[in-house]
Amino acid sequence: MNAPQNASSKAVTADATRASKVQQVVSKSGIEAWLVEDYAVPLVAMEFALEGGSSQDPIGKAGAATMLGGLMDEGAGSLDAEAFHNAMDDKAIEISFSSDSDAFHGRLKTMTRHVDAAFGLLKLALNEPRFDHDAIERVRAQMAASLRSEANDPDAMAAKAWREAAFPHHAYGRPSRGSVESVPAITRDDLVTMHRAMLQRTGLKIAVVGAIDRDRLALMLDEVFSRLPEKGQLVAVPEIEMFGLGQLKIVDVDVPQATIRFGLPGIALHDPDHIPAMVLNHILGGGVFSARLFKEVREKRGLAYSVHSQLATYRHAATFVGGTSTKNERAAESLSVIEEEIAKLSADGPTADELDKAQKYLIGSYALRFDTSTKIAGQLVRLQIEGLPVSYMDERNGYVAGVTLADTHRAARRLFDGKKMLVAVAGRPVGM
């Protein structure tokens, strides 16, 4: 992320010590990791990510990466699912896998005395997953049950309609957790192929926090990851601009409340206006009780219990999205209030008081992202995924403090000026 042009006008906050604690470790085979040694608790936490995620799901088989994540700890090597889980439980080892749109994630947490056993199990899971028939069907059944429940959930319906309209014929428009139609179509061969294509050393991001030194970690990195192929066979995901501006999609559901999803193109992560846009979004709908939308939609008019907005950035797209739920007969009014507040912010920008409060909150709350070993590891991997230097942890609050009213005015115009939102509503909204 590029620093805002005015960021140097204000000093970096007092937490300018996080980056100095991070060591860059490189194993003999060239596997890199960021390490924070911490011996306060005899615990080691690791998080890692590989490029890919649900954007690699085969056409017609959405949910494959999610299913892969659910199966990686369901037996590996000579251990079937029960034996693998027992081996983790016996030593209180935690290993899990998950997928988002652009990455496949793994996590490990263990007491220091069980590091060898934990990394041994992780090595098996990564390199020799079994994909046994009974495990596949068990995970498939769990996913299908969740999806059947969501099939009657207005929130899930609105989100699906918005996503499909925003990203038609693109990986981001497909459901990352699959659908009731796609999950039954996923085969073992699909999972084996995806594992072979996605689990690779190129693009591997690793962070480790806890009671382990760099020499021992370097040995463990080679032990766990060196058998992965240098390069996989990822399918290229094209850049995409959001579609559907000005459209209204209504999903007819016989429920008393209408669930609304709205959005616009966002500002990319490395754009100089991203941090001003982040501050602006906090003022509009990200700050909960202090946000304009909360005050106007809930406090003043009682239209909804909650309303929110956020900047959602992907590897190949950026969006501004939000949502609320309200009575069907007040859905049109709720959307009108949201649009009016966005228009005001676009025309006039925030006030100096709003900017000051947003900066104080965003700066003060940043430390909460680093209050456990697991959170620190997650933040370090996120920085690596986003292509940010470790120094960003110390510099970020300075960038937020350096945002001016002029910066927020500029970001508001870029986000909102002259644009009509894509809106999806699940329910039976009156007057829409």
Map out the domains of the chain with their CATH numbers: 31-225 (3.30.830.10), 248-427 (3.30.830.10)
Amino acid letter at 344? K
Within 294-351, residue ranges assigned H as helices are: 331-348
Spatial distance between the Cα atoms of 199 and 122, rounded to a whole number of angstroms: 13
Compute the half-sphere exposure of residue 223: CA atoms within 13 Å on the CB side of its CA.
16
Spatial distance between the Cα atoms of 414 and 275, rounded to a whole number of angstroms: 13
| Residue spans of beta strands (DSSP E) within 134-252 | 205-210, 248-252
End-to-end CA distance of the chain: 40
What is the residue-level pLDDT of the chain in tens, covering all 432 positions?
Answer: 544 443 333 333 444 589 999 999 999 999 999 999 999 999 999 999 999 999 999 999 999 999 999 999 999 999 999 999 999 999 999 999 999 999 999 999 999 999 999 999 999 999 999 999 999 999 999 999 999 988 889 999 999 999 999 999 999 999 999 999 999 999 999 999 999 999 999 999 999 999 999 999 999 999 999 999 999 899 999 999 999 999 999 999 999 999 999 999 999 999 999 999 999 999 999 987 889 999 999 999 999 999 999 999 999 999 999 999 999 999 999 999 999 999 999 999 999 999 999 999 999 999 999 999 999 999 999 999 999 999 999 999 999 999 999 999 999 999 999 999 999 999 999 999
Query: Could you tell me the sign of the dihedral formed by the alpha carbons of 44, 45, 51, 53, in that order?
Result: positive
- What is the per-residue pLDDT for 288? 76
| SS3 category, 325 | strand
Q: Cβ of 356: how many Cβ atoms within 10 Å?
A: 11
**Angle CA 304–101–358, to nearest 5:** 45
Burial of 122 (0-12, 13-18, 19+ CB in 10 A): buried
pTM for this one?
Answer: 0.92
Spatial distance between the Cα atoms of 369 and 162, rounded to a whole number of angstroms: 30
Kindly state the tokens that stand for 339. Answer: 């649009």
Strand-pair category, 43-51 with 94-99:
unpaired
